[in-house]
Amino acid sequence: MNPTLDVTLARKTLAAQPFSALLGARLTAFGGGEATLELDIREELLQQHGTLHGGVLGYAADNALSFAAGSVAGPGLLAAGLTIDFLRPARGAVLRARAQVVRAGRTRVVCRCDLSTVDGDGGETLCAVAQGSLAVVEGLAGAGRPSG
């Protein structure tokens, strides 16, 4: 298993992702097999019905899962699979993706992620759940960034 990422490297990794910067994503919790990614819900991220676009939810799940895995397996990871179930329309002020490692093996890390919207009063509403697996790739650790 690769050495674990520290929060400083994880935040630098997120900042180095142009798409994450475009969305304004921020890593608000990281370590011990868990990661939380947040982004503000703004008009440009909505679909035609006025709710957060499913692609944004997929992005948030993918990156949160990757960072949770990276907190235990290090940066040498590539996404191997992702499933997401949309439970209700995503409306609110902030999207919060909380991911945790379910099992970290020698070659694969499996994680789950709960995606919630947060309203202006701080109330959370679960809107989607996701599960993903990440492949541990030897020699990729030098890249310094988990997939996502």
Domain of 123: which CATH number?
3.10.129.10
In this structure, is residue 148 part of a structural domain? no
Q: What is the CA radius of gyration of the chain?
A: 15
What are the residues whose beta carbons fall under 8 Å from the beta carbon of 29, sequence distance 6 or more?
35, 36, 98
CA separation for the pair 23, 40 (Å, rounded): 8
What are the residues whose beta carbons fall under 8 Å from the beta carbon of 48, sequence distance 6 or more?
none
In this structure, is residue 72 part of a structural domain? yes
Q: How many domains does the chain have?
A: 1
In this structure, is residue 31 part of a structural domain? yes
In this structure, is residue 147 part of a structural domain? no
Backbone torsions φ then ψ of 8, nearest 5 degrees: -65, -50
Q: 91 to each of 25, 46, 80, how far by Cα in Å?
A: 17, 9, 29
Tokens (6 digits) for 85: 């179930």
In this structure, is residue 59 part of a structural domain? yes
- Determine the pLDDT at residue 145: 43
Mean pLDDT by 10 residues, the chain (148 residues): 69 93 95 97 96 97 96 93 98 98 97 97 97 90 47
Task: Using alpha carbons, select from 118, 4, 113 the residue that is nearest to residue 59.
Answer: 113
In this structure, is residue 2 part of a structural domain? no
Is residue 91 helix, strand or coil?
A: coil
In this structure, is residue 66 part of a structural domain? yes
Identify the domain containing residue 15 by its residue range. 7-141
In this structure, is residue 84 part of a structural domain? yes
